[in-house]
């Protein structure tokens, strides 16, 4: 499974990229607005920190303007994935951009039917929002299972990018279901490292080592 982080915070991106475990970044206008900086400036800087896909979202809702925005975003760097909404105009734009060889991340997916359409439109990524489904009493992970099954039936190249992740269990369940990517807030990725027995075991090893009075270096 690939790990993306869902943020525009450059400090978090640099810190987690340094682990070697970060495969990409997803952003949206709300996340970039929190930085207080220009949208295009922030996106361009992220593409220089991360080698993998960096999702940058169009804000237009009509096809013609969305396509122009997508082409401008794609020109920032080769690793840009243009984000478009799962609407008729968004899928038209997805088809046009993917035909040009641009990576497209179709976002705001809430049904397997929508995911099927995105794959047919040539999306590089489909972003089902599992947490938002959970919030309204539906089973977000059941949607991931359905999409993975449909995509496997037809050998689609579109990668299932699990979004709106609330915690580590979403990530683990998505991995068990065979999802390709999880995009998570930075704090959730950091939580994946942690287990109390790891901390306890390490403390015991270090205490025993200190008693020997030795040094490796």
pLDDT tens sequence across 165-199: 999 999 999 999 999 999 999 999 999 999 999 99
- Angle formed at CA 186 by CA 179 and CA 59, multiple of 5 degrees: 75
Write the CATH number of the domain with boundaries 2-212. 3.20.20.70
| pLDDT tens, position by position, 1-46 | 999 999 999 999 999 999 999 999 999 999 999 999 999 999 999 9
Provide the 10 A C-beta neighbour count for residue 213. Answer: 6
Spell out where the chain has E strands: 2-6, 24-26, 54-57, 80-85, 103-109, 125-128, 159-162, 181-184
> Is residue 83 among the annotated active site residues?
yes
Q: Which of 183, 116, 177 is nearest to 151 (CA)?
A: 116
Identify the pLDDT of residue 10: 97
Q: Delimit the domains of the chain by residue range.
A: 2-212
Identify the pLDDT of residue 209: 95
- Give pTM, 2 decimals: 0.94
Catalytic one among 34, 83, 95, 200? Answer: 83
| pLDDT tens, position by position, 39-73 | 999 999 999 999 999 999 999 999 999 999 999 99
């Amino acid at each position: 499974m690939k790990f993306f982080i869902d943020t525009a915070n450059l400090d978090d991106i640099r810190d987690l990229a340094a682990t070697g475990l970060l495969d990409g970044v997803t952003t949206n206008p709300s996340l970039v607005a929190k930085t207080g900086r220009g949208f295009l400036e922030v996106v361009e800087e992220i593409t220089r920190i991360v080698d993998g896909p960096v999702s940058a979202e169009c804000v237009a809702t009509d096809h013609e303007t969305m396509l122009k925005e997508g082409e401008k975003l794609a020109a920032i760097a080769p690793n840009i994935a243009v984000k478009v909404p799962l609407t008729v105009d968004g899928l038209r734009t997805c088809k046009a951009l993917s035909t040009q060889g641009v990576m497209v991340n179709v976002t705001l997916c809430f049904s397997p039917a929508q995911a099927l359409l995105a794959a047919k439109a040539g999306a590089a990524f489909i972003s089902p929002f599992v947490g938002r489904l959970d919030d309204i009493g539906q089973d977000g992970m059941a949607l991931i299972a359905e999409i993975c099954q449909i995509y496997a039936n037809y050998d689609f190249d579109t990668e299932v990018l699990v979004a709106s992740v609330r915690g580590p269990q979403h990530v683990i369940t998505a991995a068990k279901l065979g999802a390709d990517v999880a995009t998570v807030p930075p704090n959730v990725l950091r939580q994946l490292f942690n287990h109390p027995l790891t901390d306890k075991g390490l403390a015991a090893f270090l205490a025993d080592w200190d008693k020997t009075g030795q040094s490796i270096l």
